Every structure is written in structure tokens, then in C-alpha cells.
Amino acid sequence: MTAEIEICFRGNKKGLGKVPRELVSIKGTREGLVILLDPNREFEDIKLHLKRKMESSRGFFRGARFTVYGQTITGYQRTELENICRQYGLIPSPEISWPFEKKKAASPGEPARLVQCALRSGQEIRHRGSVVIVGNVHPGAQVIADGSVIIMGSCRGTIHAGAGGNNTATITALKFEPIRLSIAGVTADPATIPQNSLFPLTARLEKGRIIFSSYRSKATYPIF
């Protein structure tokens, strides 16, 4: 199944149109499925109803790709919703764009975004160009860029470079301990990332897999 699912909180966003009164509703779009959640309800109720929706689907959504949107939820809540969907065979895909906005192609000349602070749990950066972060990216934080991502600190959150399909994008950090790391839709297994490197590492795609290169030694570490 190739459908894509997005989880987002209902609001007064222009272009949304009529919003169903259900606490959790699943709607189809040309890009895939959208799961709409009522932001005025308790998060535990939302989780319960999402589980019921998944159970009643009887495996219909298995194999579908999805992402979680919602300005009113924390990073940990986002992870909880993702984990519920994972239990029913769904696949997280953070590069999926918001369905009610017109998509525009990333401009080759899009300026890089400079973030001069650490990113804490629940914080998220999205940019159509490259992103440079002066500080650590902590667990629960997320960075999604159409270009490359440079972290002048430790990478311990979720990073997706080349989100628009740019397979030449790279991810560079002083230290890698990510929750999830992806380039152009290819996801690395955190357990296989080189540990205790004395020098900064750069992750890039090569022949369909992610490899890491040390700035000093030029050694590469393939991820299978």
C-alpha cells in the first residue's frame, strides 16, 4: 500500500473547509490520508480514539507512510502518536508536506537558515533550504530541511535532510546520537552510527545507503 497519512490538529487554517466534529477522523486527499484530531480534547482521549480507529481499520492502513503535524502537541506526544500508528504497520515519514498548502518546488537559491540556539524537546525547524544550527539538537526536537543540515553541536534528535528528494543533501554534526536520521527518504539505523569519533562526521547517500565520513580521517562507515 502506498498511501501517505498525515496527523494534524484541526484549526482555523485557511483552506481547511468544514471540519468534522469527530474527535479523530480520517480523510483522503490526492496525496494520501489525513488524520484530523480535535485540539480541544484531552490528549489521552485522542490517543484512545486513534487506537480505536486503527483497530477498526483491520489492517487497511498497513504499509502506509505518515507524519505528525500539530503546533499544540509536544515532541513526546508526537512520538506517542507515531508509536500507536507503528503498532498497526504504518511508517513515519516526516518529509510529507502539509496537505492544505500549495506545494512549491524548493528554490536552488533558497538561503540557508541559521539557528543560533539549542533545540529542546518539542521544538521543530522546517526550511526549504539548508539549516545551520549553532547548538545541540536534543531528543524530542526535529529538523526537516530540503537542503543539508549542519549541527555545530551534538545531534540527538530527529533529522531529515533532502526532504524534497534531494539525494545530494548531507547531515554534519560534531557528534551523532540521533533518534532518527534520514536523507531523501532513506533512514539510518541509529544503532549502527559510528560512536566516539574524535572529529565531526558527515552523513550522505551513496548507492542507496547512508555512509558517514570523518572530516579528519576521510574514513567512511556504511550503514546497511
Note the pLDDT tens digit of each residue in 118-162: 999 999 999 989 999 999 999 999 999 989 999 999 999 999 999
CA distance 14 to 5: 20
pLDDT at res. 217: 45
Given a cut of 80, whether residue 2 has pLDDT beyond it is no
Residue with the bigger pLDDT between 170 and 61: it is 170
**The dihedral formed by the CA atoms of 120, 185, 65 and 110, expressed in degrees to the nearest 10:** 70
CB-side exposure of 61: number of CA atoms within 13 Å?
28
pLDDT at res. 106: 46
pLDDT band at 28 (very low <50, low <70, confident <90, very high): low
The amino acid occupying position 203 is A
Given a cut of 60, whether residue 203 has pLDDT beyond it is yes
Place of cell 471540519: 19
Given a cut of 90, whether residue 191 has pLDDT beyond it is no
Residues 169/145, Cβ–Cβ less than 8 Å: yes
Could you tell me the domains of the chain? Answer: 4-92 (no CATH), 113-222 (2.160.20.70)
Given a cut of 90, whether residue 31 has pLDDT beyond it is no
Tell me the three cell numbers of residue 54. 486503527
Of 41-45, 62-66, 174-178, 219-223, the least confident: 219-223
Task: Determine the average pLDDT of the residues in 104-123.
Answer: 77
Place of cell 469527530: 22
CA distance 13 to 30: 19
Given a cut of 50, whether residue 223 has pLDDT beyond it is no
Helix, strand, coil percentages for the chain (3-state, nearest 5): 15, 35, 50
Q: Give Dmax (Cα) for the chain.
A: 58
Residues 161/171, Cβ–Cβ less than 8 Å: yes
Sign of CA pseudo-dihedral 144, 146, 150, 155: positive
pLDDT band at 1 (very low <50, low <70, confident <90, very high): very low
Residues 161/167, Cβ–Cβ less than 8 Å: no
Average model confidence (pLDDT) for the chain?
A: 75
> Radius of gyration over alpha carbons of the chain, in Å?
18
